[in-house]
Structure 1
Amino acid sequence: MTSDQDVWPTLDELVREEAELELAGLSEIDAYELGMRAVAAASERELPVAIGVWRAGRQLFHCGLPGSTRDNDAWLRRKGRVVMRFERSSLYMARLCRDKDVTLTQKYGLPAARYAAAGGAVPLRVRGTGVVGWMGVSGLPQLDDHRFVVNVLRETPR
């Protein structure tokens, strides 16, 4: 039996969601504030996650909370590479692969050791510019990782 927590959004829903999350900008201070919002939200719930914010290939924020591991850091980077390659959330790419019953390696020739089509990394789009980076979380089930990032971004002033 599946719960509402296990229901995957459609590709169209994920595209609409990404459009809603567009930012006015992404400076180093903006990245820090995004990261700290995520740390506060995760700490409040005692979530064992790694959190990262990247812009143009540069990590601007990272925090590994209690219970997170190096493996979470590796998953975070792998999911982020997917975002920057396709300019879509890592959950979007996971859903796309799931719907077509293929892996990223099968469909695009991308090595699984470097790319992960699993929810938790979301593109950071700047109004008038496009995708400039990504924000991600690793440590929860992939749908929860994705929802966590989306919720933090929804609470961010535009």
Structure 2
Amino acid sequence: MEDYIELQKNLLAEEEELQFSQFTNEMALQIGCRIIEIIKQENKHVTIDITRNGQQLFHYAFPKTSADNDQWVRRKSNVACRFGHSSHYIWAQLRAAKKTIQERYLVDPTEYAASGGAFPIIIKNVGVIGAIAVSGLPQEEDHLVVTTVIREFINKTN
């Protein structure tokens, strides 16, 4: 059985680490294109969505994805923006509590998906302003591709 408490601690540490000083449209483009590059190298297929303050800044759907993936990135992003945590963190929290998102938070599961793949865009000393989301791989992989690119981008710009 997975240790959901330990996973939550690790995911919280990741959220503390992966914070931006600002987030521009150009940054969204660069991050989105880098995710595309990685997914192409791995010969996989995902849908990518980046939003800031409710505005879609970047969206790309690989071949072999569908409108279902569009809904998944939207629902995962809703979780990251509403709760201020990655959708993977909320998934682990719900698993530890043995509750669904509807039972725990009284939200509509057609609007919110607690499944890994959306990471909040966190501005240092400000808070969450949006989300970067991927759908199409197993949830851990969706989460990992997003956090890998964010980490790479932050390390490159610092």
Task: Determine the structure 1 residue equivalent to 2:77.
Answer: 80
Structure 1 residue 46, shift from structure 2 partner:
1.6
Give the AA of the match of 2:95: R
Name segments (4+ residues, structure 1) moved above 2 Å: 6-9
Task: Determine the structure 1 residue equivalent to 2:129.
Answer: 132
Please give the residue correspondences for 1:25-64 in structure 2 after superposition, counting only pairs within 5 Å.
25-64=22-61
2:144 to 125, 130, 147: 147
Q: Deviations over 1:70-126 (max 9, x none)?
A: 111100000000011100000000000000000010011111111000000001111
3-state DSSP of counterpart to 2:122: strand
Give the AA of the match of 2:130: G
Task: Determine the structure 1 residue equivalent to 2:108.
Answer: 111
Find the aligned partners of 2:3 and 2:68 in 1 and give their Cα distance.
26
Change (3 A) 1:7 1:144: farther
Find the aligned partners of 2:78 and 2:150 in 1 and give their Cα distance.
19
Find the aligned partners of 1:68 and 1:41 in 2 and give their Cα distance.
16
Change (3 A) 1:116 1:45: same
Structure 1 residue 148, shift from structure 2 partner:
0.9
3-state DSSP of counterpart to 1:155: helix
* RMSD of aligned residue pairs (Cα, Å): 1.6
1:101 to 98, 101, 104: 98
2:10 to 8, 13, 37: 13
With the length of structure 1 as denominator, give the TM-score of the two structures.
0.92
Give the AA of the match of 1:119: G
Structure (1 or 2) with the greater helix fraction: 2
Structure 1 residue 7, shift from structure 2 partner:
7.9
Give the AA of the match of 1:116: A
With the length of structure 2 as denominator, give the TM-score of the two structures.
0.92
Q: Which runs of 5+ in 2 are unaligned?
A: none
Find the aligned partners of 1:27 and 1:124 in 2 and give their Cα distance.
11
Aligned-residue identity in percent: 36
3-state DSSP of counterpart to 2:99: coil
Find the aligned partners of 2:44 and 2:15 in 1 and give their Cα distance.
24
Q: How many equivalent pairs are there?
A: 154
